[in-house]
Amino acid sequence: MAIRSQVVGCGSYLPLRVMSNDELARTVDTSDEWIRKRTGIRERHLAADGEATSDLGLKAAQAALEQAGLAPDDLDLIVCATATPDETFPATATRIQAGLGMTRGAAFDVQAVCSGFIYALAVADNFIRCGQARSVLVIGAETFSRILDWEDRGTCVLFGDGAGAVLLCAGEGRGEVADRGVLSTHVYSDGRHHDALYVDGGPSTTQTTGVVHMDGREVYRHAVVRMAEAIDAALEANDLTPGDIDWLVPHQANLRIIESMGHRLNLPRDRVVVTVDRHANTSAASIPLALCEAVSDGRIRQGDLVLMEAMGGGFTWGSALVRW
């Protein structure tokens, strides 16, 4: 019988500090009106001084374990998607592993920027389907505020900090139970687009952390095309049509991009999960944060078909389809 990765818990964490557009407009030449109109963002959460990516990831991980009723040593693997690790090495996932008190299994990071959660989910799903792990914690955690140029209005208004986690377990049930879980993942990249979105630092080049640089229009242009392709790939692989999808949980970068993906699927607005207004773009954390919100408030229910898609620096992009 085929093994399938089933979602048994999810959790999220947002730092306490909230920065509104108006507050931002006091230090950089922008306005609440411009930011809302172009992006849909109203506010973002920012990590406190000394609060690291692993601190956010750990809180999300603990919430996911608690919801699933599992203990850290029940886990075989932690995959953490992040572009803002605590340190160059070791992996942020190992710090989360230590924070949980997990003394077995393995933990490592995945780096695909805003597509990181889709990539991490794909890795976890493959570990489970190959039989190499039975329970995997997939985390998206970011402190993007640390790699922003707070004087560059073209980028600093767009991002926020946060973390989300999803716990997958191998399921081999029959009938309806066997239908639940990750149905497919698709991941892609095209490294020729490095210059459209990158951080100008790193251990082997500048020996500094660097800050985000972005050609917003170029990113926008590619995002709508690539994410639409990833959606089509998910539907085709599962022999489904847009009408079969119950929920779209997109990467939360920009309301206009999110709406155009919802429109493409012909989904009513209330079937598209939106958090970008309150979280801004939290990169790899944006999908699990949105997912957890829609699960905990009862929108996403068992049996629902949930489509996720993302695109990020690289470029990287992808989609995942899950029967909840």
For β-strands 247-250 and 106-110, DSSP reports them as unpaired
Contact track, ligand ACO, 94-113, x by CB under 6 A: --------------------
Q: What is the DSSP secondary structure assignment for residue 208, as one 8-state letter?
A: B
For β-strands 247-250 and 305-312, DSSP reports them as parallel
**From 10, 114, 156, 169, the catalytic residue:** 114
Interaction of residue 147 with ligand ACO, rule CB under 6 A: no
Q: Which position among 37, 150, 154, 203 is part of the footprint of ligand ACO (CB under 6 A)?
A: 154
Residue with tokens 């931002």: 24
**Are the beta carbons of 133 and 77 closer than 8 angstroms?**
yes
Q: Which position among 6, 21, 39, 319 is part of the footprint of ligand ACO (CB under 6 A)?
A: 39
Interaction of residue 281 with ligand ACO, rule CB under 6 A: yes
**Minimum distance, C-beta of residue 161 to ligand ACO, in the bound complex (Å):** 15
Nearer Cβ to ligand ACO (192/217): 217
**From 186, 193, 251, 279, the catalytic residue:** 251
Contact track, ligand ACO, 202-241, x by CB under 6 A: ------------x-xx-xx--x------------------
Residues 298-317 that bind ligand ACO (CB under 6 A): 311-312
**Each residue of 279-298: b (16+ CB within 10 Å) or e?**
bbbbbbbbbbbbbbbbbeee
Interaction of residue 188 with ligand ACO, rule CB under 6 A: no
Contact track, ligand ACO, 236-265, x by CB under 6 A: ---------------x-xx-----------
Token pair for 210? 């660097």
- Please indicate whether residue 194 is annotated as part of the active site: no
Give the count of beta carbons closer than 10 Å to the beta carbon of residue 9: 21
- Please indicate whether residue 114 is annotated as part of the active site: yes
The Cα 12–Cα 282 span in angstroms is: 12
- Please indicate whether residue 251 is annotated as part of the active site: yes
Spell out the residues 6+ positions from residue 200 whose beta carbon is closer than 8 angstroms to its own. 206, 210, 211, 213
The number of angstroms, rounded, from the C-alpha of 179 to the middle of its chain's C-alpha atoms is: 24
Q: Is the CA virtual torsion 13, 292, 124, 5 positive or negative? A: positive
Nearer Cβ to ligand ACO (96/112): 112
Nearer Cβ to ligand ACO (5/82): 82
Interaction of residue 38 with ligand ACO, rule CB under 6 A: yes
Contact track, ligand ACO, 53-92, x by CB under 6 A: ----------------------------------------
Helix (H) or strand (E) run with residue 298 in it? none
Q: Is the CA virtual torsion 199, 200, 205, 206 positive or negative? A: negative
Establish whether the linkage from the previous residue to 117 is cis, with ω within 30° of 0: no
Interaction of residue 289 with ligand ACO, rule CB under 6 A: no
Single-letter residue type at 255: L
The Cα 119–Cα 244 span in angstroms is: 24
Residues serving a catalytic function are: 114, 251, 281
Interacting residues toward ligand ACO by CB under 6 A: 30, 34-35, 38-39, 114, 153-154, 157-158, 197, 214, 216-217, 219-220, 223, 251, 253-254, 281, 311-312
